Amino acid sequence: MAKDPVRVLVTGAAGQIGYALVPMIARGVMLGPDQPVILHMLDIPPAAESLNGVKMELVDAAFPLLKGVVATTDVVEACTGVNIAVMVGGFPRKEGMERKDVMSKNVSIYKSQASALEKHAAANCKVLVVANPANTNALILKEYAPSIPEKNISALTRLDHNRALGQISERLNVQVSDVKNVIIWGNHSSTQYPDVNHATVNTPAGEKPVRELVSDDAWLNGEFISTVQQRGAAIIKARKLSSALSAASAACDHIRDWVLGTPQGTFVSMGVYSDGSYNVPAGLIYSFPVTTSNGEWKIVQGLSIDEFSRKKLDLTAEELSEEKTLAYSCLS
Ligand SMILES: NC(=O)c1ccc[n+]([C@@H]2O[C@H](COP(=O)([O-])OP(=O)(O)OC[C@H]3O[C@@H](n4cnc5c(N)ncnc54)[C@H](O)[C@@H]3O)[C@@H](O)[C@H]2O)c1
């Protein structure tokens, strides 16, 4: 029997990530090739015409899984009945703007969208925040949607996770699908800590630690980390636009694994509400290694953290605490 359609909200759908993301969702990349979807697309009034153009293209693409499209600038209409919400819309930092001004704009967007989701989304709606500052926007959303359980609110660090897999695969000249269990700790920002201490590669001789195969700690503790941390800036430099297809693909990976589960023995990185694991302050949205099953994530416990890693975990936590303070100061 055919499954009931799942309603997926994409905010900022007229933007460049939105344009890459909605066809992926409509093709089944996010929820599987047998899962019909109804797309809810939200943008702001200045982008309404362009949003309508995206809707026209979705119709023209004749996706068999796409059972309906809601394209609107009305946040209540957009949020009504949604099972999954991918929050891509936000206020970008423009030249000359203070960090506090950008934070203030995003805090007010996420506060109002949180209320709309809380009142109008389907029960058990899962939320993924992509828009920057992603971790802190997710925290604000959590605060202003108290009836949405905190386990249902997450931030995207899967792009960073995938970038780390990509760098290791290139360095070792192995298939990216043979590399697993890298970790992104902390903030989706340049303080994030890409950690390979538990990562492995599937080789003809069995599973081997990445550190052993790379056999170059200076590279792993230096250039590898900064390449992953700075990859967003490198893409902007090359494309004159920020990452879009890789961000859209990562958003699909994030939701797919969350809903359908991670393979046995594999973990992925998600920005989730900290419960104090690994001595990360509770109450931050922090990227951890997680496994998922039955639609629920669990932080991987018991991984050893060496002194080098400890410092990096703490540094990115400090930045998130500062962002949290700044965000709260924008509320008053
Ligand atoms: N977490 C990650 O890994 C990651 C990766 C890349 C980009 N990003 C972030 O994702 C966001 C989107 O990137 P993009 O390249 O698509 O930007 P973009 O500027 O092309 O698109 C953003 C869209 O959001 C819309 N928007 C603005 N305010 C809105 C609101 N209140 N409600 C609904 N829509 C609204 C804009 O009109 C625009 O269409 C940015 O914040 C970017 O920094 C995050």
DSSP sequence for 71-83: EES-HHHHHTT-S
Ligand 1 within 6 A of 131 CB?
yes
- Which of 43, 162, 246, 286 to mutate for ligand 1's pocket (most ligand atoms within 8 Å of CB)? 43
- Where does CATH 3.90.110.10 sit in the chain? 158-327
**Assigned fold of 158-327:** L-2-Hydroxyisocaproate Dehydrogenase; Chain A, domain 2 (3.90.110)
pLDDT at 92: 83
Residues 6+ away with beta carbon under 8 Å from 169: 175, 176, 178, 179
Q: If you measure from the C-alpha of residue 248 to the centroid of ligand 1, how many angstroms do you get, rounded to a whole number?
A: 11
pLDDT at 199: 98
- The residue among 331, 316, 332, 327 whose CA lies nearest residue 100 is 327
pLDDT at 205: 95
pLDDT at 297: 98
- Which of 24, 130, 161, 323 to mutate for ligand 1's pocket (most ligand atoms within 8 Å of CB)? 130
Q: Are 285 and 272 spatial neighbours (Cβ–Cβ below 8 Å)?
A: yes
Q: If you measure from the C-alpha of residue 209 to the centroid of ligand 1, how many angstroms do you get, rounded to a whole number?
A: 37
pLDDT at 233: 93
pLDDT at 59: 98
pLDDT at 58: 98
pLDDT at 95: 77
pLDDT at 89: 97
188 labelled catalytic: yes
What whole-number distance in Å separates Cα of residue 197 and Cα of residue 236? 29
What's the residue count for the chain?
A: 332
Residues in the chain predicted with pLDDT less than 70, given as ranges, are: 332
pLDDT at 153: 98
Look up the CATH superfamily of 6-155: NAD(P)-binding Rossmann-like Domain (3.40.50.720)
Q: If you measure from the C-alpha of residue 90 to the centroid of ligand 1, how many angstroms do you get, rounded to a whole number?
A: 5
- Where does CATH 3.40.50.720 sit in the chain? 6-155
